[in-house]
Amino acid sequence: MKVALTEKPGPIGVFDSGYGGLTILHEIRQLMPQYDYLYLGDNARTPYGTRSFEVVYEFTREAVQKLFDLGCHLVILACNTASAKALKTIQQNDLPKMEGETRRVLGVIRPTAECIGQITHSRHVGILATSGTISSGSYPLEIRKLYPDIAVSGEACPMWVPLVENYEYDSPGADYFVEKRIGNLLRKDPAIDTIILGCTHYPLLLNKILKYTPRNVRIVPQGEYVAYSLKDYLQRHTEIETLCTQSGTCRFLTTESPDKFTESASIFLRQHVEAERVVLE
């Protein structure tokens, strides 16, 4: 990473490989509308879920660097695959090489893991996520660190992100893929009473997910828990909070066509947004 960065306060950066991170951004802005936000979607290279650890790290590092270059001191990886495959390397290898101590990168897996102990009663939890997140083992690792008594089972859902990105999340064709993956997960462990949606795209499939999930099983989207975790983080780390500007603005950047981003982002956020194109390198 480059090291010549501004020390002036700036917006909070939010990064995702595609559009799913907008569900996290929405919840964060609902809870803390006073801050400025800069969202970056690497839509030209999505999805990350099937890519190798090395490639996900490289792409994520480039995105984090771009947000730092644009004045962010705090970046949220609103992408489970990036959080699983790149976060620790960036925190341990890249940030220490930078001048000063005013840059932070946070993920979405730890905040989700922290809340799960208060939700599950059976102590059996399921994870629905991309192939990359499941293969990384990040959720079982984080949950067992905090709650060794909880059994964790995962199911990869390789078709779910394409369904969302191609606006098929509410179509009849989505039912087959949703029912199949939930059925697979519950057959692995019938005692599951809590399912984490371990991909930020999945809340758009929530109606289908609820349709095929038993009523006694609780579904946990991430956005609300990540937002409250970030609020707590800023309250505990005032040295970072004072470097986050507060004018209530939000800008959107994409590596794809701005028009395409605007069309899709408006579906996720249920409001019209304007985006600018950037190049990552």
pLDDT tens by residue, 147-190: 999 999 999 999 999 999 888 999 999 999 999 999 999 999 99
pLDDT digits (tens, 9 = 90+) for 183-214: 999 999 999 999 999 999 999 999 999 999 99
Let me know if the fold of 12-107+224-277 is the same as that of 110-222: yes
Active site residue 79: yes
Query: So what's the pLDDT on residue 160?
Result: 95
Domain ranges of the chain: 12-107+224-277, 110-222
Question: Is 145's pLDDT higher than 50?
Answer: yes
Q: How confident is the model at residue 4 (pLDDT cuts 50, 70, 90)?
A: low
Binding-site entries for substrate: 16-17, 48-49, 80-81, 200-201
Torsion angle of the four alpha carbons 111, 10, 201, 61, in this order, in degrees rounded to the nearest 10: -90
- Range list of H helices, the chain: 21-31, 53-69, 80-85, 87-89, 109-116, 131-136, 138-146, 160-165, 174-188, 206-211, 223-236, 238-241, 258-269
Out of 72, 157, 199, 250, which one is annotated catalytic?
Answer: 199
pLDDT digits (tens, 9 = 90+) for 112-136: 999 999 999 999 999 999 999 999 9
Question: Is 44's pLDDT higher than 60?
Answer: yes
Q: In what order do the strands lie in the sheet with 74-77?
A: 104-106, 74-77, 12-16, 37-41, 250-254, 275-277
Out of 72, 79, 157, 244, which one is annotated catalytic?
Answer: 79
Domain 110-222 coded CATH 3.10.110.10: no
Question: Is 258's pLDDT higher than 70?
Answer: yes
- In this prediction, residues 51-80 reach a mean pLDDT of 96
Q: Domain 12-107+224-277, what fold?
A: Rossmann fold (3.40.50)
**CA angle, corner 229, sides to 263 and 192, nearest 5?**
85
d(CA 102, CA 3): 12
Question: Is 99's pLDDT higher than 70?
Answer: no
- In this prediction, residues 61-84 reach a mean pLDDT of 96
pLDDT digits (tens, 9 = 90+) for 236-250: 999 999 999 999 999
What is the model's pTM? 0.91
Q: In this structure, is the dihedral angle defined by the CA atoms of residues 244, 245, 251 and 254, taken in order, positive or negative?
A: negative
d(CA 221, CA 200): 8
The mean predicted confidence, pLDDT, of the chain is 94
Query: So what's the pLDDT on residue 3?
Result: 46
Active site residue 199: yes
Binding-site entries: 16-17, 48-49, 80-81, 200-201
d(CA 29, CA 23): 10
